[in-house]
């Protein structure tokens, strides 16, 4: 499948940065789930650019629910939502029409689509398309919360500045819910923002690591081959622009441990099975073990920068120099975190719908 | 989908460690691809345990081609191959019948399958099942080689001992092809094996990092959402037991770079488009850019160890102590590398079949 | 999959009769296909109600292309089109809110969606949703025509009045292209319309048989198991409301023939392979044989009629009598024919995209 | 997907008539379903040729369960079963190597597979492959029976001789369960067999109509678009060799009815909702309404006949005359009926697994 993801709850997204609208169709959602447009708005608001650490493009993210909702509840049929592209200034991008931004998708899109690609603002490869994922999350996340499942992502590090670890995870997640800059140690916010602004001032950009936690997921969810929880999450997460790595639990650090250090001892306390450590990130054999799901995502620095870079004009195939002049983000990590929450919600809801039956989420 | 992977070339795998057979069905392979059973045998041989650094289980991997091959060529219909489990000693595992190995899938399988799981030797979660993937690779890899596409994986590090980087990648890959211990710098082999043997002697295990390269893949292959090359590769790779992380190109190291450092400058030389660096690992926007695809996979230490560990008896749900007595691998990384080659071959062949039409691989 | 169809070219449809909009996402369409909104309009116009033989609901089918089209060509990304529901008078349906129309989906929808269904005007089960399929056909059919593939459907019979057989099929199809009442023998039009009007006057409805032909499809397209051409066409066609049967070639008449009568003798003339008869409807073993694809679809009488019928109030589960008062069609066959053309176009384009590669349709 | 069918319970089949084995992988079956090899054997026995009305090929259908079953129960992982081709006499078919049987798949297979097809005995297009579907039915049907769901198919007509209608459907189904020649009115058996033998004596073949009933299926199962019950059943059924038509409920007869005749009046009696007639065949809007599912399948005469027919040599593309000399069936309808039962069981189990959750069938 191309622009669709999921086995039983299936999200299809569409749209180009400077086209009419971006949007989604969410299929497989059972009838009877409350849909509150305010929830969609507030998640979209968390994704929206904020101040000097983000692009100057100001989208109000006005959206239309075309189908699938009746009297405030899902009616069991596909939900289509479109979000207008209102503040698309295509003239900013006339130069990019011919010059490939290094490490962006301009060149690969040109090859793949044989010159017919909508190159304006990155087209279908723009971070703008993630607003469709976030809008879908505005339906999925409240439904999962009602089932006691909570998902949250924080800025584990930005430009080398590190946030603290998750501690009381469910509480941490709830504290992150409304944060426009999602750090657990609020004292790190200024330091990170300073690094972002410094990069911006230099015509440059920075990256970061996002850490996501999912709590309240019962043991036994996921598949051994091939739809492991890790496989499904990573499949979806690598679609988010700028992601270049993912690790679960202790991740790459496990490679240098001994088995006796890496293994999570299992205990039963008052009938509840837990592990003493969580190096496995809540997943064994692709299946949830009842501990929090933990993963970290590598976000590279935004490729669009003002600094001069060597590149090519991909139309006439000649060497050139590019210096991006359009509106762009000096860091995308703080805006991407809500996208990770929403895409994780899709994977979790889908795996549960497969296991529990399509109606489970609504019951 | 559960035990199937791929959009147009679809691999389905089956089998339990101590059941009758493991095997695969490979569907969507065009008619007219040469099938040489020797190729299958030689790849299976690379996966087979070797000496003291591997399990003592000695499978000769005798296999049967049930369908899909006629007169030495694929005939366009699904290929089913089964591989007998010959050296399965279930009595070794009678204790494990009741004790969950920490960080293995015993407990999650028990929850998911409600007590009906085949627990012998890890059942469907055993590394044994990867022999089916490798056998399928024995058909896919030679077909890709004929198209000028080469795939190779080396032990980037084992227990903290590092191999050198890929240099002349195509040459390096060809040198790795027959290696039973796949290092680029052969001087590292003894050091790594010493670490593995040391862990074994201590009743412990070690992990490592595998690095995979794919060369010869044209630009323009892959999808933006959701079937990015990174998404498809990671989805498949996380099914391989013991994998807990994956990164493409410079991966997590990108998070601390500036955009101006991370971006790969693009140049045209004699009409050929290349990037000066390859921090993107050959993929932009989920689509190949014509440079080598590079990714690294985190392999955790084998969870089954002789050392005593706290755990539970998952049948009566009581705390217990486990000390594995069966045959097991002190390190799985050196055996997993051929699995990564084969699973990468599947993803690449599938993406190309989608783009070029089902028959392309055979023409 | 639920509201999606296709393997490589995938149509997802959404919408309820009285909701905001109906629409579609068409994914897998290659970049570079000309999109002319006039083509979409003219197909929608053929589906629109006409005079006394159709419902009085007057939709102007105003549509918006949200994505996937740039400078008049597809840009390779999913195409989303929504069509406003402008003339939805929900008050006509307040009685139906509680009474199940016999042989309609009111009761089954109520059970499936547990009372959350959008019951207005048949909701997601309304023929209105087929306008989304037709709009997608406005992109697919011109693209297939450029490849020499033509599709046409005529009213083989309505209320017992029969049209003539296809003769010069490609010519017949071209003559049908703009017909608002698609008969090959134009003298049958008045007779059929008289039957429809008679039924309407009696508060009743009639059905009919549609016959579809596809010419220009090369031999070798389709799959043996399970995605036969017959299987894929029938899967899609049974989604069209009111369809209760389908047969290919001589269909059910084959059951009473001898093999020597049923078999289509094969001949080569000037290097071109043909069959002397076409009892197979152009398909053997699920795969096209180069002859015209021919199938007939049974359209039952519209279930919504003014005549009194026994039924239940499905909310309080009591017996009741219903006499439909809303706007409804006394026959749906003449409006459904363009839907069959469009859905056939999807199946054919998808099968060819699988065989020839995703870009084939655009090259 | 190609040789796979189903959304949550997925059947993949493989094999060629004269290859090593035919077989299946059945994935998505929950752990804990009893697997009795006798059930598989007895269904295979019903499909096996019997006396003069069938082919002389005598397969004992010896099968191997490779995976997915442990201690007599499914263990939740894919079940692979292979069935040896023991009595394949390829020399019978040396002529057919070059001559296309009219209305068989020899020519289309040759075009599709570019000369690499396994042409022996019809290869992958042989009815032999249906034994894999029947073996899978040996697991699915007993599981559905435990849930109160019963499926049966009878020979509605053979060569113009008609069986009676279903009356007490559940009782009729149970009576059919062990019948080697599945008629409801046993007095029709001799008449039908005489017709079959007469055709055989003339070097000819006959067809028939199969009628299938499914009882015990609750209301609310199926999807509106595109996975209607009719669509899923027909998709699967058209894969069965020789099927050229399908109709649900009153089917094509509805086309000449008035709506007031065709509609099924709904009543509530003692809280149970039923329809007075069942012209809808138990399905409205693609979704079960709680009445028996009824459909009829058109089986054409077996294309392989001894009588001389015009055809081509498809290798050198010259006109020729064929007179089949191999072992073949003068009628396939009486052997196909168990295939329809088993394929219906797959569709029903899959739709229920989607609705009720993967484990439902086992609970």
Name the pairing type of β-strands B161-162 and B150-158.
antiparallel
The tokens for A116 are 């017919």
User: Min CA distance, B356 vs chain C (Å)?
Assistant: 4
How many C-beta neighbours within 10 Å does residue C95 have?
15
pLDDT computed for residue C92 by the predictor: 53
Q: Do D75 and B114 touch (CB under 8 A)?
A: no
Any domain includes B362: no
- Find the CB nearest D2 among C3, C223, C309: C223
Residue B338 lies in domain: 4-357
Number of helical (H) and strand (E) elements in chain A, helices listed first: 8, 18
Q: Do B246 and A243 touch (CB under 8 A)?
A: no
User: For D215-284, where are the alpha helices, taking DSSP H only?
Assistant: 229-237, 259-262
User: Is the per-residue pLDDT at C281 higher than 90?
Assistant: yes
Distance in angstroms (rounded) separating the CA atoms of residues B350 and B136: 13
Enumerate residues 105 to 144 of chain A having a beta carbon within 8 A of any beta carbon in chain C.
Answer: 112-118, 123-124
User: Is the per-residue pLDDT at C91 higher than 80?
Assistant: no
The tokens for D236 are 């699967």
User: Is the per-residue pLDDT at D97 higher than 90?
Assistant: no
Distance in angstroms (rounded) separating the CA atoms of residues C155 and C199: 17
Distance in angstroms (rounded) separating the CA atoms of residues A86 and D67: 56
User: Min CA distance, D308 vs chain B (Å)?
Assistant: 29
User: For chain D, where are the alpha helices, taking DSSP H only?
Assistant: 37-47, 106-112, 130-146, 169-176, 188-201, 229-237, 259-262, 333-356
Contact between D329 and C283 under an 8 Å Cβ cutoff? The reply is no
Distance in angstroms (rounded) separating the CA atoms of residues C208 and B176: 67
To probe the interface with C, which of B75, B354, B360, B363 has the most C CB atoms within 10 Å?
B354
The percentage of residues in chain D with a pLDDT greater than 70, rounded to a whole number, is 97
pLDDT computed for residue C254 by the predictor: 98
At D135, is the pLDDT very low, low, confident or very high (cuts 50, 70, 90)? very high
β-sheet bridge partners, residue B83: B22, B63
Q: Do B356 and C357 touch (CB under 8 A)?
A: yes
Minimum mean pLDDT range among A14-23, A313-322, C67-76, C80-89:
C80-89
C290, closest residue in chain D (CA to CA): D108
Distance in angstroms (rounded) separating the CA atoms of residues A255 and C72: 52
Q: Which residues of B touch A323 (CB under 8 A)?
A: none
User: Min CA distance, B29 vs chain D (Å)?
Assistant: 11
Query: Using a CB cutoff of 8 Å and minimum separation of 24, what contacts does B113-116 make?
Result: B113/D31, B113/D32, B113/D75, B113/D76, B114/D31, B114/D32, B114/D359, B114/D362, B115/B315, B115/D31, B115/D32, B116/D31, B116/D32, B116/D70, B116/D73, B116/D74, B116/D75, B116/D76
The tokens for B314 are 């998952």
Q: Which residues of C touch B224 (CB under 8 A)?
A: 77
CA angle C176, C227, D25 (to 5 degrees): 170
Contact between A46 and D46 under an 8 Å Cβ cutoff? The reply is no
Distance in angstroms (rounded) separating the CA atoms of residues C13 and A328: 34
Contact between D237 and D297 under an 8 Å Cβ cutoff? The reply is yes
Q: Which residues of B touch A331 (CB under 8 A)?
A: none
C232, closest residue in chain D (CA to CA): D235
**Full pLDDT tens readout for chain A, 363 residues:** 689 999 999 999 999 999 999 999 999 999 999 999 999 999 999 998 877 788 877 778 999 999 999 999 999 999 999 999 987 766 555 655 689 999 999 999 999 999 999 999 899 999 999 999 999 999 999 999 999 999 999 999 999 999 999 999 999 999 999 999 999 999 999 999 999 999 999 999 999 999 999 999 999 999 999 999 999 999 999 999 999 999 999 999 999 999 999 999 999 999 899 999 999 999 999 999 999 999 999 999 999 999 999 999 999 899 999 998 877 899 999 999 999 999 999 999 999 999 998 899 998
Q: Do D3 and C302 touch (CB under 8 A)?
A: no
The tokens for A142 are 């409240």
Q: Do B354 and C224 touch (CB under 8 A)?
A: no
For chains A and C, count residue pairs whose Cβ atoms are closer than 8 Å: 179
At D90, is the pLDDT very low, low, confident or very high (cuts 50, 70, 90)? low
The tokens for B170 are 């195509």
Q: Do C286 and D238 touch (CB under 8 A)?
A: yes
Tens of pLDDT, residue by residue over A69-126, are 999 999 999 999 999 998 776 655 565 568 999 999 999 999 999 999 999 989 999 9
How far from the centroid of its chain's Cα atoms is residue A10's Cα?
16
Burial class (CB in 10 A: 0-12, 13-18, 19+), B23: buried
Q: Do D23 and B77 touch (CB under 8 A)?
A: no
Distance in angstroms (rounded) separating the CA atoms of residues C162 and C187: 11
User: Min CA distance, B339 vs chain A (Å)?
Assistant: 14
Q: Which residues of D touch A6 (CB under 8 A)?
A: none
User: Min CA distance, A230 vs chain C (Å)?
Assistant: 22
Q: Do C20 and A66 touch (CB under 8 A)?
A: yes
Q: Which residues of C touch A116 (CB under 8 A)?
A: 31-32, 70, 73-76
Helices B333-356 and B37-47 cross at an angle (nearest 10°) of 140
User: Is the per-residue pLDDT at D95 higher than 90?
Assistant: no
User: Is the per-residue pLDDT at D310 higher than 60?
Assistant: yes
The tokens for B79 are 């290929």
- Find the CB nearest D305 among C159, C259, C283: C259
Distance in angstroms (rounded) separating the CA atoms of residues A164 and A166: 7
CB-based contact, C285 to chain B, within 8 Å = no
- Find the CB nearest D289 among C107, C222, C252: C107
Q: Do C354 and B356 touch (CB under 8 A)?
A: no
pLDDT computed for residue A272 by the predictor: 94
Q: Do B105 and A224 touch (CB under 8 A)?
A: yes
CB-based contact, B293 to chain A, within 8 Å = no
CATH code: domain of residue A182:
3.60.150.10
Q: Which residues of B touch A112 (CB under 8 A)?
A: 220-222, 287
Contact between C221 and C283 under an 8 Å Cβ cutoff? The reply is no
Q: What sign does the CA torsion over D105, D106, D108, D112 have?
A: positive
Using DSSP's 3-state secondary structure scheme, residue B32 falls into coil
Q: Which residues of D touch B73 (CB under 8 A)?
A: 116
Any domain includes B363: no
- Find the CB nearest A286 among B234, B239, B319: B239
pLDDT computed for residue C59 by the predictor: 79
The answer, as to whether pTM is greater than 0.80, is yes
CB-based contact, C8 to chain B, within 8 Å = yes
For chains A and D, count residue pairs whose Cβ atoms are closer than 8 Å: 23
To probe the interface with D, which of A354, A362, A363 has the most D CB atoms within 10 Å?
A354
User: Is the per-residue pLDDT at C1 higher than 70?
Assistant: no
User: Is the per-residue pLDDT at D166 higher than 60?
Assistant: yes
Query: Using a CB cutoff of 8 Å and minimum separation of 24, what contacts does C270-278 make?
Result: C271/D317, C273/C219, C273/D107, C273/D312, C273/D314, C273/D317, C275/D102, C276/D310, C278/C249
Enumerate residues 23 to 42 of chain D having a beta carbon within 8 A of any beta carbon in chain B.
Answer: 23, 25, 27-28, 31-32
Q: Do B354 and C355 touch (CB under 8 A)?
A: no
Contact between D115 and C220 under an 8 Å Cβ cutoff? The reply is no
At B266, is the pLDDT very low, low, confident or very high (cuts 50, 70, 90)? very high
Distance in angstroms (rounded) separating the CA atoms of residues C108 and A240: 39
Evaluate whether ipTM surpasses 0.90.
yes
User: Is the per-residue pLDDT at B178 higher than 70?
Assistant: yes
Q: Do C116 and A28 touch (CB under 8 A)?
A: no
pLDDT computed for residue A90 by the predictor: 63
Q: Does residue C226 have a cis bond before it (omega within 30 degrees)?
A: yes
A12, closest residue in chain C (CA to CA): C25
Nearest to A265 by CA among A286, A287, A285, A284: A284
For chains B and D, count residue pairs whose Cβ atoms are closer than 8 Å: 178
To probe the interface with B, which of A1, A130, A225 has the most B CB atoms within 10 Å?
A225
CB-based contact, B271 to chain A, within 8 Å = yes
Using DSSP's 3-state secondary structure scheme, residue C219 falls into coil
pLDDT computed for residue B146 by the predictor: 97
Distance in angstroms (rounded) separating the CA atoms of residues A360 and A143: 11
pLDDT computed for residue B358 by the predictor: 83
Tens of pLDDT, residue by residue over D11-54, are 999 999 999 999 999 999 999 999 999 999 999 999 988 777 88
Q: What's the number of domains chain C is made of?
A: 1
């Amino acid at each position: 499948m191309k622009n669709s993801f999921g086995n039983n709850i299936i999200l299809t997204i569409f749209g180009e940065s400077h086209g009419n609208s971006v949007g989604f169709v969410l299929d497989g959602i059972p009838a009877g789930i409350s849909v509150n447009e305010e929830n969609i708005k507030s998640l979209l608001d968390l994704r929206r650019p904020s101040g000097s650490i983000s692009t100057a493009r100001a989208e109000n993210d006005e959206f239309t629910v075309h189908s699938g909702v009746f009297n405030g509840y899902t009616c069991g049929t596909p939900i289509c939502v479109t979000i207008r592209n209102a503040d698309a200034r295509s003239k900013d991008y006339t130069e990019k029409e011919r010059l490939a931004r290094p490490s962006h998708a301009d060149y690969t899109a040109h090859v793949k689509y044989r010159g017919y690609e909508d190159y304006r603002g990155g087209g279908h490869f723009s971070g703008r398309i993630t607003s469709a994922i976030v809008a879908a999350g505005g339906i999925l996340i409240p439904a999962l919360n009602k089932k006691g499942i909570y998902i949250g992502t924080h800025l584990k590090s930005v430009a080398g500045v590190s946030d603290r670890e998750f501690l009381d995870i469910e509480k941490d997640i709830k504290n992150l819910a409304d944060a426009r800059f999602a750090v657990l140690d609020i004292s790190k916010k200024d330091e990170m923002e300073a690094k972002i602004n410094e990069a911006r001032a230099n015509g440059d950009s920075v990256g970061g690591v996002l850490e996501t936690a999912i709590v309240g997921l019962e043991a036994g969810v996921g598949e051994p081959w091939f739809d492991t929880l890790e496989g499904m999450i990573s499949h979806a997460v690598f679609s988010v622009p700028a992601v270049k790595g993912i690790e679960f639990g202790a991740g790459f650090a496990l490679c240098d441990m001994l088995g006796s250090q890496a293994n999570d001892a299992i205990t039963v306390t008052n009938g509840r099975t837990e592990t003493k450590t969580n190096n496995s990130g809540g997943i064994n054999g692709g299946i949830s073990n009842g501990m929090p799901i933990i993963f970290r995502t590598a976000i590279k620095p935004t490729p669009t920068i003002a600094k001069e870079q060597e590149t090519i004009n991909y139309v006439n195939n000649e060497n050139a120099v590019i210096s991006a002049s359009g509106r762009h983000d000096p860091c995308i990590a703080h805006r991407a975190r809500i996208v990770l929450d929403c895409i994780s919600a899709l994977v979790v809801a889908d795996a549960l719908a497969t296991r529990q039956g399509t109606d489970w989420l609504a019951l």
